[in-house]
């Protein structure tokens, strides 16, 4: 079933770029007259050759289009495109439309804060969304300066890419911006709480919803400090000053991504303003995100990829620089260790999946397909490769080439070949082999110890042959529990390594490869890991063990032994990419008796909780694990009442709703009880968790309600939709969820009629029947994923979920549960 809108093909973008030369955009938006829609008047000035092209506009109503003073037929608008016939010369195009406020994190998103019923708006023009805000030629290599005029309710503040002022109550005039791609244009408007500062001549700002103003105030010093430190380091490394005037960081509700690098006005998901106690890992994640978006001001904003097949020029560099800057100049010197937990497996899993793609030249045929390539390959793998490049070339050559790239293409667009040429001019030598093997070839090499032969074997993916040299250290355990490092150069199919005892290949994550512990090492780890104090070595252990289970190279019972012996609370977060989330999603379901395994893990969590220092990161992580694995409603209800909480742990919103979600999963709380908890503290975070808990209830009514969110009958904001999908499929509830397995496959194609873009693909993933570990389900998923009539982004997510299921079934086949 096709999308109602056409997504720009690369071939179309090339033709339109050859025809057009943009001068400027002038955009007037009326946000004050209606809560469902807004007025949009766009004036585009441009030059062109003679020829046919089209304008991108996706309105509720298209009122008029005037080209050089001549009215065009608005009825010719089809699938978001209005045909244009142009003579050679200068042109002015004026488009008047009514546009939709959206609630899916794209376009001009309007959210209502449940804490106080105030309305907030922000713009997310990424990937096909800009035409729902203003008429445009929506592709990254058609840049132009923007001037915005905004009418808004009088109690709102308006912030955009360039500095602005309130000309009269409710009327805001923003200065002309630097040249921007359409996807960078943003607007943040509402009764936001705003803080300002200045550093090195750059005006700084922070903003968030009024209901979390006190939390922003509490975090402001840290956020401003991170911003100052990052600017200083980026200026030192690049020698090119930040070129976009003001630097405002807006924390906005219901944001799909972690953040978006809009020049002058970066937008972040507002859970990054912490309203409950968080761990150090959460603060590191926020710090690296701040630095990541700042690095984008050069990598992506100053110089933008010509097309999405080079999005690594944005994301791989921002990922590398964000981690590097955070580790080098902020209080979070352990940022690379945290990245080992948070990002490494994200990238490795993506690189082994059916939708793997090269880091560069990813083959993005259109913008919609390209959105799916904002994945662990473009971020984590690309960052790892750049770190290797930097280690090989050294800072001098590395940054001399980068600066040459910036200066040659300032405020313009560039390609991979442009950057490689800049590095070669800087003294890097011929990079052809590097480009071919590391950037243009997908998949990771598999590196493992053949103990009997006394060699390390390097095997590239059969479908993606390459000749990649690897330099890394192996860690070898001694009988006394100590470890020594051995330097390895693996540049052939086999490399001698004759050692006794447990061996970890590349535990410090110095190359990009699938490095697997052998059986002897795996069996020794439960006794060895508790004594490992090197944080990076511990992170490397967990990365290797996760890869071993993912490839059916480890018995899940042995992995459970390791988890129980050394609960990975050093990775203090348990979000979807982290170690504990992997334990819940992979290790427990693959055990012979998942309930008994969960009980064993609960005892391990309680033990670690008892031995952890009060108010420590590890204590909070262990308590979260104890909640997530509890089977006793009595214990959970006791914690919910505030009694018997560990000394140093408070009953804040986060802890309370973790307990409530677990009680709901166990069927030990009613919907009315959940409603009462939400009514007592109706924050945005609580509303999301209430939706998760409701979907987790083991009742036919709860599952039927949750399914209406998937079908689109129930309209939910994006965060709540995700929470419902993740709460729906709970282990042990298969009798209730079983009938929905076939419904998922039957109804998935039709979801293109109720959602689009980011949320369309995310819902396909979150509602996938992940607890149905059956070959029949796998066959059904693979068949639908192969259907050429299915939306391309749905095919991509479905194929990836089918691969996860296939890998779990492979583990069960290799290590039967009986």
Where in the sequence numbering do the catalytic residues fall? 293
Q: How many helices (H) and strands (E) does the chain have?
A: 27, 28
d(CA 82, CA 137): 11
Burial class (CB in 10 A: 0-12, 13-18, 19+), 758: buried
All residues at 6 or more sequence positions from 635 whose CB lies less than 8 Å from its CB, including other chains: none
What DSSP character marks residue 439?
I
What DSSP character marks residue 786?
T
Q: Which among 167, 165, 170, 168 has a CA at the least distance from the CA of 154?
A: 170
Q: Beta strand pairing status for 146-151 and 20-30?
A: parallel
Structural contact between residues 17 and 373, judged by C-beta atoms closer than 8 angstroms: no
Q: Which among 585, 589, 629, 583 has a CA at the least distance from the CA of 606?
A: 629
All residues at 6 or more sequence positions from 137 whose CB lies less than 8 Å from its CB, including other chains: 16, 20, 22, 44, 46, 53, 55, 56, 182
Q: How many CA atoms lie within 13 A of 733 on its CB side?
A: 23
Q: Which among 215, 99, 134, 276 has a CA at the least distance from the CA of 656?
A: 276
d(CA 129, CA 137): 12
d(CA 574, CA 625): 8
Q: Which among 303, 342, 353 has a CA at the least distance from the CA of 319?
A: 342
Structural contact between residues 97 and 164, judged by C-beta atoms closer than 8 angstroms: no
Structure tokens at 23: 């001068």
Alpha-helix residue ranges (DSSP H) falling in 245-366: 280-296, 312-329, 335-342, 344-352
d(CA 799, CA 433): 31
Other Cβ atoms within 10 Å of 202 Cβ, number: 17
Per-residue 3-state assignment (H helix, E strand, C coil) for 585-615: HHHCCCCCCHHHHHHHHHHHHHHHHHHCCCC
Per-residue 3-state assignment (H helix, E strand, C coil) for 109-120: EEEECCCCCCEE
Residue 379 parent element (H or E): none
Residue 450 parent element (H or E): strand 446-450
d(CA 315, CA 324): 14
Chain-centroid distance of CA 270 in Å reads: 14
Strand partners, 269: 252
Structure tokens at 438: 């590391």
Structural contact between residues 479 and 470, judged by C-beta atoms closer than 8 angstroms: no
Q: Which among 303, 516, 292 has a CA at the least distance from the CA of 382?
A: 292
Residue keyed to tokens 């922000």? 122
Structural contact between residues 5 and 31, judged by C-beta atoms closer than 8 angstroms: no
What DSSP character marks residue 544?
H
Chain-centroid distance of CA 82 in Å reads: 33
Give the strand order in the sheet containing 483-490: 483-490, 470-477, 503-505
Helix, strand, coil proportions of the chain in percent (round to 5)? 45, 20, 35
Dihedral, CA atoms, 383, 283, 214, 693, nearest 10 degrees?
A: 90
Q: How many CA atoms lie within 13 A of 334 on its CB side?
A: 18
Structural contact between residues 733 and 775, judged by C-beta atoms closer than 8 angstroms: no
């Amino acid at each position: 079933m096709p999308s109602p809108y056409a997504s720009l093909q690369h071939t179309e973008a090339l033709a339109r770029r050859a025809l057009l030369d943009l001068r400027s955009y002038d955009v007037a938006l009326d946000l004050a007259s209606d809560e469902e829609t807004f007025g949009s008047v766009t004036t585009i000035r441009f030059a062109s050759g003679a020829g046919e092209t089209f304008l991108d506009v996706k309105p509720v109503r298209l009122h008029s289009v005037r080209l050089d003073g001549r009215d065009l037929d608005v009825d010719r608008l089809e699938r978001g495109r209005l045909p244009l016939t142009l003579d050679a010369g200068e042109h002015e195009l004026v488009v008047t439309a009514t546009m939709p406020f959206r609630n899916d994190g794209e376009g001009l998103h309007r959210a209502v804060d449940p804490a106080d019923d105030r309305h907030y708006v922000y713009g997310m023009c990424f990937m096909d969304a800009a035409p729902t805000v203003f008429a445009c030629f929506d592709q990254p290599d058609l840049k132009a300066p923007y001037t915005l005029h905004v009418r808004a309710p009088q109690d709102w503040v308006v912030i955009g890419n360039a500095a602005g002022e309130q000309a009269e109550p409710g009327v805001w005039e923003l200065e002309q911006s630097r040249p921007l791609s359409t996807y960078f244009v943003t607007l943040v408007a509402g009764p936001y709480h705003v803080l300002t500062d200045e550093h090195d001549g750059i005006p700084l700002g922070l903003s968030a919803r009024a209901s979390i103003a006190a939390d922003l105030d509490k975090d402001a010093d840290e956020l401003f400090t991170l911003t100052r430190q990052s600017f200083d380091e980026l200026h030192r490394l690049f020698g090119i000053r930040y070129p976009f005037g003001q630097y405002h960081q807006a924390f906005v509700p219901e944001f799909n991504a972690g953040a978006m690098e809009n020049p002058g006005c970066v937008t972040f998901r507002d859970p990054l303003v912490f309203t409950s106690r968080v761990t150090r890992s959460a603060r590191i994640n926020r710090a690296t995100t701040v630095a990541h978006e700042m690095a984008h001001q050069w990598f992506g904003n100053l110089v933008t990829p010509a097309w999405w097949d080079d999005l690594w020029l944005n994301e791989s560099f921002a990922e590398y620089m964000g981690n590097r800057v955070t580790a080098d100049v902020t209080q979070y010197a352990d940022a690379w260790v945290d990245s080992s937990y948070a990002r490494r497996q994200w990238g490795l899993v993506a690189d082994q999946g059916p939708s793997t793609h090269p880091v560069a030249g990813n083959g993005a045929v259109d913008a919609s397909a390209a959105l799916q390539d904002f994945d662990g390959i473009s971020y984590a793998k690309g960052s790892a490769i750049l770190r290797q490049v930097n280690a090989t070339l050294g800072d001098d050559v590395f940054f001399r080439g980068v600066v040459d790239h910036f200066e040659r293409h300032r405020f313009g667009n560039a390609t991979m070949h442009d950057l490689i040429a800049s590095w070669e001019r800087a003294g890097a030598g011929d990079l052809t082999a590097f480009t071919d093997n590391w950037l243009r070839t997908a998949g990771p090499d598999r590196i493992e110890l053949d103990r009997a032969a006394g060699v390390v074997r390097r095997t590239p993916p059969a479908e993606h042959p390459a000749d990649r040299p690897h330099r890394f250290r192996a860690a070898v355990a001694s009988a006394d529990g100590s470890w020594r490092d051995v330097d390895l150069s693996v540049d052939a199919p086999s490399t001698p390594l004759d050692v006794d005892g447990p061996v970890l290949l590349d535990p410090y994550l110095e190359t990009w490869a699938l490095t697997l512990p052998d059986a002897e090492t795996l069996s020794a780890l439960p006794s060895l890991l508790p004594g490992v104090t090197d944080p990076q070595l511990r992170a490397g252990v967990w990365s290797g063990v996760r890869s071993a289970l993912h490839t059916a190279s480890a018995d899940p019972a042995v992995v459970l032994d390791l988890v129980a012996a050394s609960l990975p609370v050093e990775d203090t977060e348990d979000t979807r990419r982290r170690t504990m989330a992997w334990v819940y999603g992979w290790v427990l379901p693959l055990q012979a008796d998942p309930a008994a395994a969960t009980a064993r893990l609960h005892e391990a969590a309680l033990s670690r909780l008892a031995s952890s220092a009060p108010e420590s990161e590890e204590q909070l992580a262990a308590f979260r694990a104890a909640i997530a694995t509890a089977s006793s409603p009595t214990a959970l209800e006791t914690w919910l009442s505030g009694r018997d909480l560990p000394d140093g742990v408070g009953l804040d919103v986060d802890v309370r709703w973790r307990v409530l979600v677990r009680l709901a999963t166990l069927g030990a709380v009613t919907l009315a009880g959940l409603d009462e908890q939400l009514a007592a503290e109706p924050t945005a975070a609580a509303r999301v968790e209430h939706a998760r808990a409701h979907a987790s209830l083991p009742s036919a009514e709860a599952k039927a309600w949750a399914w209406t969110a998937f079908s689109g009958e129930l309209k939910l904001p994006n965060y709540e939709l995700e929470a419902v999908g993740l709460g729906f499929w709970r282990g042990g509830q298969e009798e209730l969820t079983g009938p929905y397995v076939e419904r998922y496959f039957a109804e998935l194609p039709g979801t293109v009629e109720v959602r689009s873009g980011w949320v369309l693909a995310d819902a396909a993933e979150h509602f996938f029947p992940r607890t149905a570990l059956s070959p029949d389900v796998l066959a059904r998923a693979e068949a639908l994923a192969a259907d050429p009539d299915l939306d391309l982004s749905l095919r991509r997510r479905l194929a990836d979920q089918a691969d996860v299921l296939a890998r779990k079934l492979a583990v069960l086949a290799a290590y039967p549960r009986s």
